[in-house]
Amino acid sequence: MKIKIVTLFPDMFSGFLNDSIIARAIKENILSVELIDFRTYSKDKHHHVDDTPYGGGAGMVLRCDILGDAIKANSSSNTHKILMSPQGHTYKQADANRLKDMEEIMIICGHYEGFDERVRNLVDEEISIGDFVLTGGEIPAMTLVDSITRLLKGAITEESYEDDSFYSGLLEYPQYTRPLEYNGESVPFVLTNGDHEKIRVWRKKESLRRTYLRRPDLLEQKELNKEEKKLLNEVIDEESVK
């Protein structure tokens, strides 16, 4: 997969792209990431990319001609163009699953007060990572790259992400490691007795319990199988008497 990131601050991505899973995926040619500094498409000697908004108001607005030139010069008919925007649809795991199968993605990072409205006509979709304010689109872009890369074949083992929160539509079950006891709290016995079927059922049930208690809205969106329905009913009964 190839990902292109259009940004004013390419240096922000140096550590992100040179460490951990992302760096390994790039090294093994599973992923290619190209940083495009759209300031280089400015046409004046001071390399301005923004201007004051028509109608007045605070801040500066990114120009559509400069950003548009950068987008057009670095994309083709196969490029899926994403604008990081607080007005976009909220990013979900399903989006990562969808985007991982695309040949080439371009992520456009806004900055300053925002961008000229006409930039929206140059992209295929707008994505937000949540209802909060950030300085620019660089950190949201990293979020997309990280979540997509984890799903690329060969980046990590499937077992490493299949039990992650949200991948299956549920929150992840509790995890434990050494020591066996800490501050008076012990690791659940079922995880130590070596019965893999009981461990599987316990993990599924605790995943359902955690989702029921913390994110019940996810259960409304998920179609449960027969076993999951049975386990969820057990959870509801157990929690009702606490």
- The CA distance from 41 to 150, in Å, is 32
DSSP of 77-131: TTEEEEEEEEEEEEP-HHHHHHHTT-SEEEEEEP-TTEE-GGGGGG-SEEEES-S
Question: Residues 6 or more apart from 198 whose CB is under 8 A from it?
Answer: 190
* pLDDT computed for residue 159 by the predictor: 66
Q: Which of 11, 19, 164, 227 is catalytic?
A: 164
Same fold, 2-158 and 181-240: no
- 150 carries an active-site annotation: yes
Hey, which residues does 175 pair with through a beta bridge? none
pLDDT at 214: 97
86 is catalytic: yes
Catalytic residue among 113, 126, 146, 163: 113
pLDDT at residue 160 in the model: 64
* Domain boundary assignment for the chain: 2-158, 181-240
CATH code of 2-158, in short, is 3.40.1280.10
CA distances to 14, 18, 166, 172 from 228, rounded to whole Å, are: 43, 40, 16, 14
Would the pLDDT of 113 be above 80? no
Average pLDDT, the chain: 94
Does the model's pTM come out above 0.85? yes
- What are 24-80's pLDDT values in tens digits? 999 999 999 999 999 999 999 999 999 999 999 888 999 999 999 999 999 999 999
In degrees to the nearest 10, what's the CA dihedral of 183, 185, 187, 193? 120
Catalytic residue among 63, 150, 206, 209: 150
Topology of domain 181-240, per CATH? Answer: Trp Operon Repressor; Chain A (1.10.1270)
The string of pLDDT tens digits covering residues 165-187 is 677 899 999 999 999 999 999 99
Mean pLDDT calculated for residue range 96-121: 94
Catalytic residue among 53, 65, 86, 210: 86
Q: What is the per-residue pLDDT for 178?
A: 93
Beta strand ranges found along the chain (DSSP E): 2-7, 32-37, 50-51, 61-62, 79-90, 104-109, 114-115, 125-128, 181-182, 185-186
